[in-house]
Structure 1
Amino acid sequence: MATSWALTASHLGLLEHRRRLAAADVLTLLRADLPALPGGDRHLSGVVAIALDHADGRLARRHGTASPFGDYADTFADAAFWTWHAWRHETGRTTRAVAVAVWVLPVVAVSTTALYRGRMPERPRPALLRPAAAMQIALAARSLLHGASGSR
């Protein structure tokens, strides 16, 4: 949670004209902190993360509270949750390596570029292929299947 707080505090300037976090931003940060929350069903955590991701996007669009902060927080939340999820619940090296490739490497690349340039860069957004979204669905489905079968 300390890392989440530090990332949030260091990016508050991306809120632009707003003086506080919007409800969508709070949902995004909650998603990032799911691994640190007590209790909960680990088999459902992937589904909860996907639901929170969907809800924060809808809220931001509906209430006009989308901001660069929310955009970058969404990326950091995905990287924090899904990398943790893969490392905690997946045993295969390939699955873990793919998790690092689709979440950690882009965050490191964007963060390094931001520090070098002194400003946040535009992130690449592939129109057709979204490997991180496909990986989220695969990891959540695997957790549900393992939970239903009683294994793990």
Structure 2
Amino acid sequence: MSLSDLPSSRAATDALLRMLRQDHWRPRALGRFLSAAARRSVRQASLRPRALAEATAVHSVLLVLARDRAGQRWVLTSWTLVVLHLGLLEHRDRLAPADALSLVRGNLPATALGARRWSGLVAIALDLADGHLARRLTTVTPFGDYADSLADAAYWTWLAIRYEPSRTLRVAAVAAWTVPVAAMTAVGISRGAMPDRPRPSLLRPAAALQALIGLRRLRRVHPSASPYRPASAQPGLRAGRRHGS
């Protein structure tokens, strides 16, 4: 049975990981792994033209709202990742409203809204809304599950690195999202099969960090000021020194 004939993305991923493990992770095996995964992703996207059109429409709006070229690159990267993972929609052929909210949340850093000091509250509200909608409309899919997690990781890691002045909190926020992903990837490659996702209780530290960083950002009086700007570079201090104060 070819990868295109496998009934689910989980089965296809496990088959690819088994192939990689059996070939002892050699460079040539990795090339075959990536090639086969790309072919399946393109095939799955072609089977869901409506979802592809919806993803493109959402990202087109976000591209217009992007604040600069870096924001545009962020949106285009998001679109590429979405298109390559449409197979995770499984039996569905279109995006759900909850999926669209997750995509918006993950792209907040690309827009001017992301720089607002209350954007953390917007991200939390969107997170709660997409989960509620997915359960209420019974549109829960692996795509929505992973899109939700990646949107959280993208937005909160960006916010912590760019605006959080506490080095301890920055490191903790990045680790809260990257360590579980790295651990799951390592286990999947070593076992030749994807492990189950962490239980929700294991993600509570990350949720607590989200609330803390969001509130600290909200309380900051001058959100546009960079926490890493040296004091000597501030105009007021330079002027004072010139006048001998």
TM-score (norm 1): 0.87
Gaps of 5+ in 2: 1-74, 226-245
Shift of 1:103: 1.1
CA contact (8 A) 1:113 1:121 kept: yes
Partner residue in 1 for 2:205: 131
1:36 maps to a residue whose letter is: A
Equivalent-residue separation in structure 2 for 1:129 and 1:63 (angstroms): 24
Equivalent-residue separation in structure 1 for 2:210 and 2:148 (angstroms): 14
Q: Which of 159, 184, 187 is matched with 1:85 structurally?
A: 159
Q: Which of 39, 58, 64 is matched with 2:138 structurally?
A: 64
Alignment of 1:1-152 (within 5 A): 1-39=75-113, 42-114=116-188, 120-127=194-201, 130-146=204-220, 149-150=221-222, 152=225
Deviations 1:112-148 (A, max 9, x none): 55566666431111537710110010011101111xx
Equivalent-residue separation in structure 2 for 1:22 and 1:5 (angstroms): 16
Equivalent-residue separation in structure 2 for 1:76 and 1:5 (angstroms): 13
Deviations 1:13-32 (A, max 9, x none): 11111011111000001100
Alignment length (residue pairs): 150
CA RMSD of the aligned region, Å?
Answer: 2.1
Gaps of 5+ in 1: none
Equivalent-residue separation in structure 1 for 2:76 and 2:190 (angstroms): 24
TM-score (norm 2): 0.56
2:166 maps to a residue whose letter is: G
Identity %: 57
